[in-house]
Amino acid sequence: MLFPTATFAIFFLIVLPLSWLTMPWPHRWRPFIIAASYVFYSWWDWRFVLLLAGCTIWNQVLAVRIWRTTDRARRKGLLFLALAGNLGLLGYFKYYDFFVSSTDNMAAIVGYDLPLSLKAIVLPVGISFFTFMAISYVVDAYRGEFEPTTLEKFAVYLSFFPHLVAGPIVRPSELIPQIEKPRDPRRVDTSRAFYLIATGLFKKVVIANYLASSIVDQVFAAPGQHSSLEILIAVYAYAVQIYADFSGYTDIAIGIALLLGFSFPQNFDSPYAAVSVQDFWRRWHMTLSRWLRDYVYIPLGGNRRGTVLTYRNLMLTMLIGGLWHGAAWTFVVWGGLHGVALAGERWWHGRSVAPARPPAGWPRWRARILTFHFVCFAWIFFRSDSFGSAWDMIEGLFTGWGEPSPLVTSGVLLAIAVGIGSQYLPARLPRVVMARFSRLPVLAQATVLALALMVTSVLGPEGVAPFIYFQF
């Protein structure tokens, strides 16, 4: 069930009142919201629900056991078991064929023919997100940072439909306390919720889809057939497309959760206004960044074990982050590029903890432009379906100047300008808009939203394209 569809609108109009009506009685509300979330998830494939339920039970049993056990070795063993289960699940569904084909091809190079068979495994939607949330739960219990809750509450935490398929990756300490305490039906931040939903829809349906169909898909599919200008603009367009697509989704998710009375962490904060790569990662997919920091980088030793190991830890964290996005070496290279850049920034500053600011003496605008272009360069690998294709894109940036560029239209340039320009708007502006909206009468609020819906519907393409991050 995709958010920008009539099916979801009907689903939500049923769930919203029932959720608030059952909210005062948690023993009714929790089964209800679990059932609603499972219905939402089963819309893709009912078998996925079994996977989600199995993942819930597995992690709950082990988290409780870890919490109750005092024997250090036994706790470690249980943690290992829980991680093996989660990573095994992810590995099987997401990476099995990738590992088998990579191993087989490497073996073939040295003349071995391995008897490995490939399976056409369907990737369950959102598996990367809910397994990471489950890992948070178990590891937090192991660290003694969060006491496991009941199975029912944990099931709500893991399956809550606004975040289920594409995040944000919410930590147990952020969501479970909210699940434990009924939300106050008199204090709903509706203006922020509606603002996020309306702008999220516009970003996804209008900006992201328009750029994808007008230039990005065509140029990335056959870079050799396009001029340098088209390739350059397609790279910028992809940067805006993926931002609009993913941040649009999480804006809608956060808005829907707010209408149900729940607060999710922010996931994007004007990433293309970043002044360094480290700053970029504090603004891009923030909930994944902090997950990688807390559950990969810090356990590896973080920056506490010397300069060389800090660089190693940065690289490993970013390589894992890259692989998380997809079972392909192009994603690994994308993560590696960011790892090298982060390590380079740290080296440049010559400090154990690099500040997220431009090098001394650099104007901020120069740092922003440099960071943006590095991020765009790395996106080439992220978007390309092979190294050959990525190389064609890079080569094409230099070899086709002066050729006709019919795909570079005023509409494309306007959409890119809107996508990037929106990141430089004063932070006060949305607050003013939301505050004014919150003071409008009910009918006026509804009319404003209906008009926004109409404009989005007219400007968007026919049909609904899936969100990019669903595949991750």
Partner 1 sequence: MADRPLPQLPPLPDEETRTLEQAAAPADPPPEPPPRRRARPEGDDGPPRKLASAGHALVVCVLALAIGLVLNAPGAHKNAYNKPAGWQRDVALALTGPLAGVSHALLLDRPRAGVQTAVGRSGNDDIDTDLGLPPTSVATTTPATTVPRATTKKPRAATPTPPKKPAFSPKRKLRIWIAGDSLVITPGYAIVRAAGSSPAMEPVGTVDGRVATGLTRPDVFNWFDEIRHQVKELHPKVVVLAFGGNDDKGYMTGLPDGMSVGDFGSWAWRKEYGRRVGGIMDTINRAGALAIWIGLPQTSSQDQTARFDVVNAVAEKQARKRPGRAAYIDTYTMFAGDDGGFAQYLPDGSGRLEKVRADDGVHFERAGGDMIARIVLKELNKVFDLTSWRKKQTA
How far is it, in rounded angstroms, from Cα 418 to Cα 210?
Answer: 12
Quick one: 334 or 437, whose CB is closer to partner 1?
Answer: 437
How far is it, in rounded angstroms, from Cα 424 to Cα 211?
Answer: 20
CB of 437 to partner 1, least distance (A): 8
Quick one: 28 or 68, whose CB is closer to partner 1?
Answer: 68
Q: How many residues bind partner 1 (CB under 8 A)?
A: 97
* The pair of three-digit structure tokens given for residue 418, joined into one six-digit string: 């809107």
CB of 462 to partner 1, least distance (A): 8
How far is it, in rounded angstroms, from Cα 442 to Cα 463?
Answer: 30
DSSP 295-345: IIITTTTTTSS-HHHHHHHHHHHHHHHHHHH-SSHHHHHHHHHHHHHHHHH
User: In the window 92-131, what residues touch partner 1 (CB under 8 A)?
Assistant: 97, 101, 104-105, 108, 118, 120-123
Quick one: 50 or 446, whose CB is closer to partner 1?
Answer: 446
Candidate residues 57, 222, 417, 425; the one interacting with partner 1 per rule CB under 8 A = 222
Q: Which stretch binds partner 1 (CB under 8 A): 51-59, 218-226, 333-341, 412-420?
A: 218-226
Candidate residues 24, 88, 177, 306; the one interacting with partner 1 per rule CB under 8 A = 177
Tallying the residues shown for the chain, one arrives at: 472
- Return the C-alpha torsion angle 27, 29, 31, 34, nearest 10: -150
User: In the window 262-321, what residues touch partner 1 (CB under 8 A)?
Assistant: 263, 265-266, 269, 275, 279, 283, 293-294, 298, 302
Active site residue 325: yes
How far is it, in rounded angstroms, from Cα 246 to Cα 234?
Answer: 18
CB of 101 to partner 1, least distance (A): 5
How far is it, in rounded angstroms, from Cα 259 to Cα 23?
Answer: 13
User: In the window 446-465, what residues touch partner 1 (CB under 8 A)?
Assistant: 446-447, 449-451, 453-455, 457-459, 462-463, 465
Candidate residues 188, 316, 394, 418; the one interacting with partner 1 per rule CB under 8 A = 188
How far is it, in rounded angstroms, from Cα 275 to Cα 314?
Answer: 19
Q: Find the radius of gyration of the CA atoms of the chain.
A: 23
DSSP 354-420: --SSPPTT--HHHHHHHHHHHHHHHHHHHH-SSHHHHHHHHHHHHH-TTS--TT--HHHHHHHHHHH
**Residues 34, 155 contacting (CB under 8 angstroms):** yes
In order of 206, 215, 231, 465, the CA distances from 221 in angstroms are 21, 10, 11, 18
Quick one: 260 or 375, whose CB is closer to partner 1?
Answer: 260
CB of 195 to partner 1, least distance (A): 9
Q: Which stretch binds partner 1 (CB under 8 A): 84-92, 126-134, 151-159, 191-199?
A: 191-199
CB of 279 to partner 1, least distance (A): 7
User: Which residue among the candidates 163, 226, 285, 325 is catalytic per the annotation?
Assistant: 325
User: In the window 14-33, what residues touch partner 1 (CB under 8 A)?
Assistant: 16-17, 20
Quick one: 141 or 155, whose CB is closer to partner 1?
Answer: 141
Query: What is the number of alpha carbons within 13 Å of residue 356 lying toward its C-beta?
Result: 11
Beta-carbon contacts of 438 under 8 Å, excluding residues fewer than 6 positions away, are 190, 191
Quick one: 6 or 308, whose CB is closer to partner 1?
Answer: 6
**Residues 178, 30 contacting (CB under 8 angstroms):** no
User: In the window 337-376, what residues touch partner 1 (CB under 8 A)?
Assistant: 353, 355-358, 364
Quick one: 27 or 187, whose CB is closer to partner 1?
Answer: 187
User: In the window 380-399, what residues touch partner 1 (CB under 8 A)?
Assistant: 385-386, 389
Candidate residues 174, 391, 394, 420; the one interacting with partner 1 per rule CB under 8 A = 174
CB atoms within 10 A of CB 110: 6
User: In the window 138-167, what residues touch partner 1 (CB under 8 A)?
Assistant: 143-147, 149
CB of 427 to partner 1, least distance (A): 8
User: In the window 412-431, what residues touch partner 1 (CB under 8 A)?
Assistant: 427-428, 431
User: In the window 61-90, what residues touch partner 1 (CB under 8 A)?
Assistant: 67-68, 70, 72, 75
> Quick check: helix, strand or coil at residue 219?
helix
The residues assigned a catalytic role are 325
